[in-house]
A and B are shown apart, each in its own frame.
Chain A
Amino acid sequence: MGFLDHSTNNIIIDAVLTDRGRELLAANDGSFRVVRYAFGDDEVDYSIIKKFGRTIGKEKIEKNTPVFEAQTVASLALRYPIVSYSDPNLIALPTLALDSTLATIEQSKPLRVQLQQNIDSDKITDRQRLLLQETMMQVAVDGRFLRLSGARSRARKEPFGFGLVYDVPARQGAGNVLSQIAFTLNYVGTGSRYTQLQDSTGVVKTTVKVTGNSTGISQTFEASVKYTT
C-alpha cells in the first residue's frame, strides 16, 4: 500500500499582464476583472506525432520543445487555444479556407472575401457536425488600411495597435462545408499617409485574421491595398 502523490499535477506559474490588461487596470474603473481562462499550445508541433509515433513523439514534444517567454501583446500572446469538445471520439476537425481570389483593394474596388469551414463529412457524424459548426466569426484587420462591411457589430479596437475586430455571422453549409462567411474589405483613404509601408507601386500589404468563435479555428491571409494610381 502506498500514497499517490498528486503534487506533480499541480503546476504553479507566474503570469504577466498583457497590454490590454494594463490598460484596463490603469483605467481603474473595475473593468479589469478576470472571469475565465484558456490554455494554448503555440509552440507545439504535432506533426512530430505523425513522424515518430505516439510514444516517442510525445516524449520528443515534452523534452525537445522550447517554450517561449510570455508575450504581452494580447493579440499575439495566445494564438492557438486548446479547445474542449464534448465528443471524445473526433478523428477530424474542420479547417478554414479562403474561397475567393484575393485581388488588390483600391479606392473604387472593394474586395469581397468568402471563407469556408471545411471538413470531410465522411469522418463526422451528424451530431459531431452540429458540434463543430461555427455560427459567428471574428475578423481582425489593420484599421489604418481596411474597414469591413457585412459585419454584425461595430468594430472593437485592439489596444496599443491599429487592429479593428468585427463580428461576422456564419451561414450554415452543406456536404463538406460546415459553414461559410462572407464580408467585404474596403479601402481606408487615410492609409495613404503611411508611405513608408508602401512598395514602389503604392501597394501596402496587410494581414486579415479570421477566427471561429466556438472552435477557435483561425485563418490569416494577406491583403494588398493600392494607394497611388
Chain B
Amino acid sequence: MGTFKNFTAADIKASPSSLNQLIDVIQEDISGSLTRRKYEVFVTGGIGPGITSSLFQTVYDQDFTLQTANPVFDLTVGLFQNGTTVTEAPGYQVAATGKLLFASQSVMMREKVDNYKQFASFLLGNSDSAFYLGSSAYPDNSGVSTSATDRIDEALFVNWKRLFARDRLRKETFAMRFYTSASISGGDFENVGASYAESLTNTTASNVNTVSEEGVEIFADIGANTDSRRVTGGDVARIKKASNTNIDVGLLFYDYGIAVFDLAKVCWEDQHISGTIGAMNDSAFLHNGTAGNSIPAGQTVIGNRNGTNNGGRADSNPKAKFIPDFMVSASIDTIVDHIGGTRFSSGTLTAMAFQNQTNIQSSIYFCRAAPGEFNYSTNPTYLDANGNLQVIEDQTDPTERSFTFFTTVGLYNANNELMAVGKLSRPVEKNDEKDLNVRVRLDF
C-alpha cells in the first residue's frame, strides 16, 4: 500500500551526453550599426579634438538597445609586436621601460599590440608568442616567434559569447562567408577589375565604409576532426579557404570559442584603401587642396588620390594599402567598422555558421511499476459519488480489475518532498497484467 516506491542503487544511473545547436549569424547583424555595439573607452589627447575608440565591438542578434538582444560575438584586431606592420610604423621606438612609441600619424598602435598579446597569453600561454598558420607550425611555432613565415602579424579576433559557444564549438562545423576585397567600385575607378585592384596598389574610390561586393570566399575549419592540436587554449585547428584548402587563413580555438584570422590572408593585403578616418589632426581642410569636401579637425583622408600633386595634403598617402597603412593609421573602431560593416556584405545571407556543444550530465532513474503496483488512483474522478471505482463496470465480476493511466512521474527525497517531475506525452495505461518501466532523465 502507498503512493511511493523506493529506488534501489541499481535503478539510478549517471551518464554524460551532449547537445548540439546550429548557430547562424546573418550578414546584416554584423554590418548594421544598431547591432554592432561600441564601447568608446579609448581617447587620445594632445592634437586636435582627439579620437575616441573601442578596444573591441560586440555583434548582437538584434538592435542592442533592446532588452531582448543577445550578444553573439566580440570583434577586435591586434598586431604582433615584432611584425613589420609594427616595427616599420612611423616613429617606431622602444623606450627603456619597454613602452612602444609611435608617431602621431598612427593610432592605437600600443592597444593593437596589447590586444594581440592578451590573446597570445590567453590562448598560447605566452604573451610574446605569435599565432602561426601552416601544417607544421600552427598554432604557435612551438613558441618561436622569430620566423615570419606563416606568422599572423595582423590578426582579426572573433570571440563567441558563452550564450552561443556554450561549452565548446563542434569541430568541422564552422564556416564564414567573407569578402576578401574592399569595395572597388565608385568614382573614376568603378571599372577597375578585381585583379587590378588586388595586385596593383592603385587608387580606387572611397572604400573604407562602402559595403564590399567583390572577392567573396568561404572560410571553414575543414579537416579539423583529423588534424587538431591541444595547447594552453584547448583544442585548436586551422581555418582554411574552402576554394583552396591548401591555404590556411586562421585558427579556431574550440574550447574558448575564439577564432584568430590572419588579415593578410583573409583580405587583399595590398589593396588600395581610401576614405575618411579619425586622425590626430587639429584643423579642418579641403580634401582636394583648394576644393572638394571639407574634412573637419580630428579626421583625415587615407589614400587620398588627389595627393600632393593635386593640392592634397603631404600626409595623404595616396597609395595607402590595407596592410600596413590602414592597420597603422586607423583606430580599432575604424578597422572593426570597416571589417564588420563592409567585409561581410549587408544582406540576409548567412555570414557565419557553426554548431556548439553543450555537455550534459544526466541522471537516469528507472521507475518500475510492477504488475501488482500502481493500479488505483487518488484522482477525484476515479470514484463515483458513492465511492465506487468508475473503472469497474460490473462489481460482481471478480475478473474485472482496476487500472490507471499514468501522465506524470515524480521524484521525491527521503522527506517525500517532490524534487523533480516529468510528464508523458500521452496517458499510458497501467493494469495488473502490465509491467511498466519509465526512464526519467534529469539533466544537469
**Which residues of chain B (413-444) have a CB below 8 Å from chain A?**
413-414, 416-430, 432, 434-443
**Which residues of chain A (168-224) have a CB below 8 Å from chain B?**
214-218
The interface stretch among A38-46, A100-108, A143-151 is A38-46
Q: Given A35-B412, A93-B389, answer yes or no on A62-B405 (Cβ-Cβ < 8 Å).
A: yes
Number of A-B residue pairs with CB-CB distance less than 8 Å in the complex they form: 277
Are B422 and A14 in touch, CB under 8 angstroms?
A: yes
Which chain B residues border A229 with CB–CB below 8 Å? Answer: none
Does B311 touch A at the CB level, under 8 Å?
Answer: no
Are B419 and A54 in touch, CB under 8 angstroms?
A: no
Which chain B residues border A12 with CB–CB below 8 Å? Answer: 438-439, 441
CA distance in complex: A174, B392 (Å): 26
Q: Given A36-B7, A46-B391, A217-B378, answer yes or no on A82-B430 (Cβ-Cβ < 8 Å).
A: yes
- Categorize the interface residue count of chain B: 35 or more
Instruction: Report B149 CB to chain A, min CB distance, Å.
Output: 52
Are B420 and A21 in touch, CB under 8 angstroms?
A: yes
Does A10 touch B at the CB level, under 8 Å?
Answer: yes
Are A37 and B378 in touch, CB under 8 angstroms?
A: no
Instruction: Report B220 CB to chain A, min CB distance, Å.
Output: 34
Which chain A residues border B381 with CB–CB below 8 Å? Answer: 44-47
Q: Mark A13-39, 1 if CB is under 8 A from B, else 0.
A: 111111011001000000111111111
Q: Mark B3-21, 1 if CB is under 8 A from A, else 0.
A: 1111100001000000000
Which chain B residues border A215 with CB–CB below 8 Å? Answer: 1, 378
Are A74 and B418 in touch, CB under 8 angstroms?
A: yes
**Which residues of chain B (327-373) have a CB below 8 Å from chain A?**
363, 365, 367, 369, 372-373
Does B382 touch A at the CB level, under 8 Å?
Answer: yes
CA distance in complex: A206, B417 (Å): 23
CA distance in complex: A69, B422 (Å): 9
Are B442 and A17 in touch, CB under 8 angstroms?
A: yes
Which chain A residues border B12 with CB–CB below 8 Å? Answer: 34
Q: Given A24-B419, A37-B7, A83-B2, answer yes or no on A78-B408 (Cβ-Cβ < 8 Å).
A: yes
Does A81 touch B at the CB level, under 8 Å?
Answer: yes
Instruction: Report A15 CB to chain B, min CB distance, Å.
Output: 4
Which chain A residues border B423 with CB–CB below 8 Å? Answer: 13, 67-70
**Which residues of chain B (365-402) have a CB below 8 Å from chain A?**
365, 367, 369, 372-384, 386-393, 395, 398, 401-402
Are B377 and A71 in touch, CB under 8 angstroms?
A: no
Does B216 touch A at the CB level, under 8 Å?
Answer: no
CA distance in complex: A11, B404 (Å): 16
Are B419 and A88 in touch, CB under 8 angstroms?
A: no
Which chain A residues border B23 with CB–CB below 8 Å? Answer: none
Q: Given A82-B374, A88-B375, answer yes or no on A38-B4 (Cβ-Cβ < 8 Å).
A: yes
Are B422 and A78 in touch, CB under 8 angstroms?
A: no
Does B199 touch A at the CB level, under 8 Å?
Answer: no
**Which residues of chain A (53-69) have a CB below 8 Å from chain B?**
53-54, 58, 61-63, 65, 67-69
**Out of B5, B374, B395, B420, which one reaches A34, CB within 8 Å?**
B420
Q: Given A38-B5, A65-B407, answer yes or no on A58-B378 (Cβ-Cβ < 8 Å).
A: no
Are B436 and A9 in touch, CB under 8 angstroms?
A: yes
Does A89 touch B at the CB level, under 8 Å?
Answer: yes
Does B91 touch A at the CB level, under 8 Å?
Answer: no
Does B103 touch A at the CB level, under 8 Å?
Answer: no
Q: Given A58-B429, A70-B421, answer yes or no on A34-B376 (Cβ-Cβ < 8 Å).
A: no
Q: Given A14-B422, A67-B427, answer yes or no on A39-B378 (Cβ-Cβ < 8 Å).
A: no
Q: Given A21-B419, A78-B421, A83-B374, answer yes or no on A15-B411 (Cβ-Cβ < 8 Å).
A: yes
**Out of B5, B392, B422, which one reaches A13, CB within 8 Å?**
B422
Which chain A residues border B435 with CB–CB below 8 Å? Answer: 9
Does A152 touch B at the CB level, under 8 Å?
Answer: no
CA distance in complex: A15, B444 (Å): 11
Does B410 touch A at the CB level, under 8 Å?
Answer: yes
Instruction: Report A158 CB to chain B, min CB distance, Å.
Output: 9
Q: Given A10-B437, A37-B367, A216-B378, answer yes or no on A24-B422 (Cβ-Cβ < 8 Å).
A: no
Q: Mark B119-155, 1 if CB is under 8 A from A, else 0.
A: 0000000000000000000000000000000000000
Instruction: Report A209 CB to chain B, min CB distance, Å.
Output: 12
Does B406 touch A at the CB level, under 8 Å?
Answer: yes
Are B421 and A41 in touch, CB under 8 angstroms?
A: no
Does B409 touch A at the CB level, under 8 Å?
Answer: yes
Are B421 and A71 in touch, CB under 8 angstroms?
A: yes
Are A41 and B404 in touch, CB under 8 angstroms?
A: yes
Does A125 touch B at the CB level, under 8 Å?
Answer: no
Closest A-chain residue to B392, C-beta based? A91
Instruction: Report A221 CB to chain B, min CB distance, Å.
Output: 13
Which chain A residues border B412 with CB–CB below 8 Å? Answer: 34-38
Jot down 27 A-B pairs with beta carbons below 8 A, ordered by A: A10-B437, A11-B436, A15-B411, A15-B420, A17-B442, A18-B418, A34-B442, A35-B412, A35-B413, A37-B410, A37-B411, A39-B367, A39-B369, A39-B430, A42-B407, A49-B390, A65-B407, A65-B427, A67-B426, A74-B417, A77-B418, A78-B408, A83-B2, A88-B401, A90-B402, A92-B388, A216-B3
Given A44-B381, A91-B392: 7 more A-B contacts, CB < 8 Å: A9-B434, A12-B439, A42-B407, A67-B426, A70-B408, A77-B410, A93-B376
What 8 A-B pairs come out closest when comparing CB atoms?
A15-B422, A40-B408, A21-B419, A81-B3, A216-B378, A78-B410, A84-B373, A74-B418
